[in-house]
Structure 1
């Protein structure tokens, strides 16, 4: 029987990032002989923070969280996703710069605190990345390292971050899927009262 786990998370999803999807597809094709579990191309994401489980949180609490976040999020920003890094558990794109992601993470945790949702991990433990494949079995390290090294010359991809998604994330076997509960926009630079220069 396939085990399913469910939890609420804040994610950055990239459904329309065609250049990123092209790079991810090239990397996954090169990694395919290694027997890793590839992330579906329509499931690429950056995990920001775990919020809690459906058993612990009510729809009203999630609504309050989204409203709290809408008042606290920083400005929209751009990121670069850069091939390629690996660890014992996954092969991933590095993302940077970290500074705007760290600000976003801290704002989401503070939004949760204001409505009584304690964070699972502090911002100091946040390590942003974009996974392409998971290593759910024992594999020799050398072939993985060799494949990663051959892909590091691929160009970086620029991503614009204009909103975050509060989702119900499900893990079914080795695959993650989610339903978006709400998307919360980041601030823009043309808010009333902000200087144009």
Structure 2
């Protein structure tokens, strides 16, 4: 694990020890509403049995008040947003997909480690390693967007790769959750191979994220 990853994990664990209550994750961010969808590039985790086994085992210890467990088919790593579906033209979308596919074809698939558990006020995630490969892919996607638009949405800074396995659904006390996490925080990670970036139309329903796949950009054609 790199020093950046170790420092982040240590910092977040330390902060969590002093956190009295969760923050409800499900407040409406600017522009969001129940009938609106958002185009975004994600990494998704279909057909990853090692990860499914780890998440199932960890989630079995997290059936606690205040946590909304993420279903296996809802696991994702947020990469780069484009914009709400009613604000992005079909022409721009198609051109961005073409540019992204062209650039991603020159990259190798990502071999990533997920784990250990990595909590904060709004949820419990799995630490993703190594960060640099994910950051390189995100930069490639941002370059593709920048070839079409003068301004790339979202800041390039502040990105921290993670995969959430439980969202905070209320302002529940953290003490019971900390007890469970301390017991499972050293479980071995799972390894996954990511062979594509996925463009999705994301929506929020029933205190969860759901999506429709719009396009994929294979890595290493």
| TM-score, normalised with respect to structure 1 | 0.89
Further displaced range: 29-38 or 93-102: 29-38
Pairing 1:78-93 to 2, within 5 Å after superposition = 78-93=111-126
Tell me which residue corresponds to 1:112.
Answer: 145
Contact in 2 for aligned 1:165/1:183 (Cα 8 Å): yes
Pairing 1:77-156 to 2, within 5 Å after superposition = 77-116=110-149, 118-156=151-189
Q: 1:117 to 1:48 in 2, by over 3 A?
A: farther
Further displaced range: 120-129 or 17-26: 120-129
| TM-score, normalised with respect to structure 2 | 0.80
Tell me which residue corresponds to 1:193.
Answer: none
Structure 1 gaps of 5+ residues are 189-197
Q: What is the aligned-residue RMSD (CA, Å)?
A: 1.6
Query: Does residue 97 of structure 2 align to residue 63 of structure 1?
Result: no
Within 2, Cα distance between the matches of 1:51 and 1:61?
Answer: 10
Aligned partner of residue 124 in structure 1, secondary structure: coil
User: What are the superposed Cα offsets for residues 91-137 of structure 1, whole Å, 9 maximum, x if unpaired?
Assistant: 01000100000001111111101111633323322111000010021
Q: What displacement does 1:34 show? A: 3.2
Within 2, Cα distance between the matches of 1:166 and 1:114?
Answer: 17
Within 2, Cα distance between the matches of 1:119 and 1:147?
Answer: 40
Aligned partner of residue 15 in structure 1, secondary structure: coil
Instruction: List structure 1 runs of 4+ shifted beyond 6 angstroms.
Output: none
Matched residues, number: 187
Q: 1:78 to 1:98 in 2, by over 3 A?
A: same
Tell me which residue corresponds to 1:27.
Answer: 58
Within 2, Cα distance between the matches of 1:40 and 1:117?
Answer: 37
Tell me which residue corresponds to 1:38.
Answer: 69
Q: 1:4 to 1:21 in 2, by over 3 A?
A: farther
